[in-house]
Structures are given as structure tokens and as C-alpha cells.
Structure 1
Amino acid sequence: AEAACSAVLQRIAAARGALDGLMSEVLEDHVRLHLLDGSAQARRTAADELLDVVRSYFK
């Protein structure tokens, strides 16, 4: 039973690592596509969206 729990915890940790990597890639793309280009209003909107996502991710 203890070995099974350990295996599950390892899988959860691996999944979290994979999701963190994916989040990093998507955030980088969002910054490059929406915060570096476009009008000032579009950048403000993109920044607000990004901040909402980051806040919810760290809750």
C-alpha cells in the first residue's frame, strides 16, 4: 500500500511539472504575441488577462 501511495505521489509530481512547463510556454507566447505587439489598449487588455490567469494559477 505504501509503495502504491508513493507511485501515485510521484505521478502527481510529474504531472504538475509537465503542467508547469506547459504554463510557462503558453505564458511566454502570450507575452510575445499580445504584450509586445499591438496598440496600447490591446497591450493593457492582454496584461489584464495575463494577470488574471497568473493570480488564479497561484491560488
Structure 2
Amino acid sequence: MGHTIKDQKKLLTRVRRIKGQSEALERALEAGSECAAILQQIAAIRGAVNGLMAEVLEGHLRDHLGAEDRTAEQRHEDLEQVMGVLRSYLK
């Protein structure tokens, strides 16, 4: 069983929180809120997305790269996949 299935409820809770934060940001922009409030909301969303990414990444690394039943070739393929995702995420 994959880690995103085992942790599905917790991950979906995080995603729903991000969705709510995004909707609050949209409302703040539509209402012409102060720049500081908008910046704070953007920072909160970024922090929430970073936390979600860290949690899913940790689970992936533990389940795929840390699994003892994986061959060296499978680990290398998983590592390359993770590195590609991290490169695009950190751009």
C-alpha cells in the first residue's frame, strides 16, 4: 500500500486547508485588502504547500528508496524521478 493511500485523510486535510487559504486570498484581492494582509496570506499558502510537499516527499523516500526489497536499478530510477520533481519544485 502506497504512503499516499495510508496517509490519505491527513493529506486531503492539508489540501483542503490550502484550498481554503487560496479562496481567502482570492476574496482579499477582490475586496482590495491591504498589501500586507495579502502578502501574509501568500506566505501562509506557500508554507502550507511546502509542508505538504515535505510530507509526501518523506513518505515517498521512505517507501521507495528506503525499502529493502528494491533493486539498485529501481532505487536509481526512483531517485532520478524525485530529483526531477525537486528541480521543478525549486525553480
TM-score category by the smaller chain?
0.7 to 0.9
1:53 aligns with 2:85: yes
Residue range with higher mean Cα deviation, 9-18 or 39-48: 39-48
Q: Does 2:54 align with 1:24? A: yes
The yes-or-no answer on 1:40 pairing with 2:72 is: yes
- Structure 2 residue runs of 5 or longer lacking an equivalent are 1-31
| Percentage identity across paired residues of the two chains | 48
Q: Which amino acid aligns with 1:40?
A: A
- Relative to the length of structure 2, the TM-score reads 0.59
Moved over 6 A (4+): none
Counterpart pick for 1:13 among 23, 39, 43: 43
Aligned residues: 58
Q: Which has the higher contact order (CA 8 A, sep 6+)?
A: 2
TM-score, normalisation: structure 1: 0.88
